[in-house]
Structure 1
């Protein structure tokens, strides 16, 4: 049965990190040509929409931009993020059944605190879209529990960081093993903070995993966990650099496999992330995803150089993925008891992070403290002390109040903000998701 599918295109013609950088405007130009050549926009159920412009308010629901949004963000970032918000509006207002935002630059490596660009990412599009949906449509449409399934070859460490303490967001990342690829994270024991333990699921796969392996992980791990979590909305961070022809990764997924994945996952909204095989992969993958989301026949999707022989998977990879399934479900099914072993009954938990901005050449040291909370939806209030080690200046102090904050966590967070002395920091920031407010002193 066909579905009404919205498409939002934004190639960002005026934005490139460098002329020959993998993340440049040609990434989407070939896809646009392919979509038009195949006549997809001639179908009544596939509708193109123009992107809106994201605002500072949209960004401030998620990020602490240091020193400011204006100094870090290009117009292309605002339109790229705005494209995801357009897709969300069309789905939430029931103008379409689902939507695919084919936009750039990408965003899933961008964390809560932003000092610059890392992993080609500055603003986290999916996270901004999630908070936008909750703020604008949460009460009206009953949207609380959201699942993000990240199928980019690189671990979505930024999305993981942003939702680390959110019990109502399930973040699942299918990616190449972090021991072999940037950003070097995303292991099965990374399961979330003390108030959201178990809602982070990492599924690292060995290099050279083929279509068989990807679909095994989807069918045997991802789909059962989604059925258990019962999200109100599913978002696919639709990175496409798992493709066998991608120049900066080592996997063997196919365009047909991506179409099957989206057909089975049935995301409400898909957002393009990575994918750097500009001619050999992206036009075919995106065409397959569009057809799958629209409920149309994608069985003939094939790359010109596709080889069935090359899709024979090493039996050792199969063995590894079976063990990954066992480990994942052992932790998922016992997450409450395991949470007590990992975090105990301490009233506060501190986490230190050393974050490298490979694109911007910045090293950040960060200390995060979260208040342990027994209110199921709260997630706990958080403080972050962040220092840009590349600049000899005082750190930034940020306080985050979660969307479903309990009174005790609010009181503690407001106290932390009020007593922070401005003379000790370059900025003191407060992000109040519950009141949709962002301020500083």
Structure 2
């Protein structure tokens, strides 16, 4: 008997940025009505499950929450992330063919360091899932394909230096939409070159343009990477009725994309056309995951024959694809020390804006360039929070694949900066041993959890 598609539905009734904000519970309630009306849950190929709470430890694998997890993470966030973990467990165990975590709050704009909510996101559901799958189930190579109209800058940030996590994001060109990032030259750090692939697309891309990208770029890259698990950050604001984007993708286009992508798990991200898009796109994706006919799923505003793509748009799409095809074909020609300009450490400075809470973060990220592993990372981050307090933190993250030297050097860096009066908090995230520690300057406080 064919394995089922698992569904978890969590609308987060008790969480909202504001009563009229685009990211609100109605995003999923109309979908829920549509699913019931169509009798989708009566299909033997689909089974619904309940979510569970992600633990603070699960979240600490992916994030440095300032000053702590409890300060940034509400129960709704833990449930949304926990839904992905529940489905992930069942898929890995072989009980399910695949799954769809139809949840909110979304997460793909939440970065490694979390000072607040940005882009409607506080914690990154997909990142929490990836770190959980690696630690608990031993999954090595994971691909994340982000299909949101906005660049998944948070997911990119978390895995930018990780060669075992391939992050692919197609999105509306950052020069025309939030968050203003996601260009073709953003390709990953020296130790993870081409583990990040950004596909910025001009406004006005239709289903045909999107599938040109899928067939000629995304599918070949996924085939080469040979992921053990594929996650779809299933943003739906590329839809032609979405109020925040300028793309022309239909429910049928999304379903066909899902059929080609064959993700192990889809996790809902954006999509703000509450009545005209989400009920139809969600339904079409769910049917595609379950291997059912989705051809009759047509939104009320759909134009017979679809949309005509402007030839200029088509030309730009082809140009982006050709550029990235060449980059991918030559990905092994560059040495990590060459990419780091021969330096022992690779450093970049990042200004980060939290648009929901108007927080400005200044961050310096320093990565050790290592021959044996991706290298440990030290992050100097400072920001003023809404409580009026200024936080300056030093966060050390040791990668899952760390060599002995980088692990020891990372721990030494943590111990050294614990004595530095400039930092309110010093954090250690040792993914190689599943150990997470926090040191507070004012009064010594250490939280240790060994998995």
TM range (shorter): over 0.9
Instruction: Give 2:269's aligned residue.
Output: 273
Pick the aligned partner of 2:381 from 386, 392, 397: 386
> Which whole-Å CA distance do the structure 2 matches of 1:34 and 1:87 have between them?
22
Per the TM alignment, residue 423 of structure 1 is displaced from its structure 2 partner at its CA by 2.2
Instruction: Give 2:312's aligned residue.
Output: 316
Per the TM alignment, residue 3 of structure 1 is displaced from its structure 2 partner at its CA by 4.8
Write out the 4+ residue segments of structure 1 that deviate beyond 4 Å after TM superposition. Answer: 338-341, 389-392
User: Gapped runs of 5+ residues in structure 1?
Assistant: none
Aligned length: 435
Describe the SS at the equivalent of 2:366. Answer: strand
Per the TM alignment, residue 344 of structure 1 is displaced from its structure 2 partner at its CA by 2.8
Describe the SS at the equivalent of 2:421. Answer: helix
Instruction: Give 2:444's aligned residue.
Output: none
Matches within 5 A, 1:177-192: 177-192=173-188
Assess if the C-alpha contact under 8 Å between 2:375 and 2:398 holds in 1: yes
2:249 equivalent to 1:253: yes
> Which whole-Å CA distance do the structure 1 matches of 2:308 and 2:390 have between them?
54
> Which whole-Å CA distance do the structure 1 matches of 2:346 and 2:141 have between them?
24
Instruction: Give 1:403's aligned residue.
Output: 400
Describe the SS at the equivalent of 2:140. Answer: coil
Pick the aligned partner of 2:166 from 150, 170, 174: 170
Instruction: Give 1:137's aligned residue.
Output: 137
2:28 equivalent to 1:28: yes
Instruction: Give 1:74's aligned residue.
Output: 74
Instruction: Give 1:433's aligned residue.
Output: 431
User: Gapped runs of 5+ residues in structure 2?
Assistant: 440-451
Question: 304-313 or 32-41: which moved more?
Answer: 304-313
Question: 71-80 or 168-177: which moved more?
Answer: 71-80
Q: CA RMSD in A?
A: 1.3
Per the TM alignment, residue 412 of structure 1 is displaced from its structure 2 partner at its CA by 1.5
TM-score scaled by length of structure 1: 0.96
Per the TM alignment, residue 2 of structure 1 is displaced from its structure 2 partner at its CA by 5.9
Describe the SS at the equivalent of 1:439. Answer: strand
Instruction: Give 2:443's aligned residue.
Output: none
TM-score scaled by length of structure 2: 0.94
Describe the SS at the equivalent of 2:192. Answer: coil
> Which whole-Å CA distance do the structure 2 matches of 1:345 and 1:151 have between them?
35
Assess if the C-alpha contact under 8 Å between 1:53 and 1:82 holds in 2: yes
Q: Deviations over 1:376-405 (max 9, x none)?
A: xx2210000000045563510110000010
> Which whole-Å CA distance do the structure 2 matches of 1:427 and 1:96 have between them?
42
2:422 equivalent to 1:424: yes
Q: Deviations over 1:332-366 (max 9, x none)?
A: 11123345654232110111000000001100000
Describe the SS at the equivalent of 2:258. Answer: helix
Instruction: Give 2:446's aligned residue.
Output: none
Assess if the C-alpha contact under 8 Å between 2:63 and 2:114 holds in 1: yes
Describe the SS at the equivalent of 1:368. Answer: strand
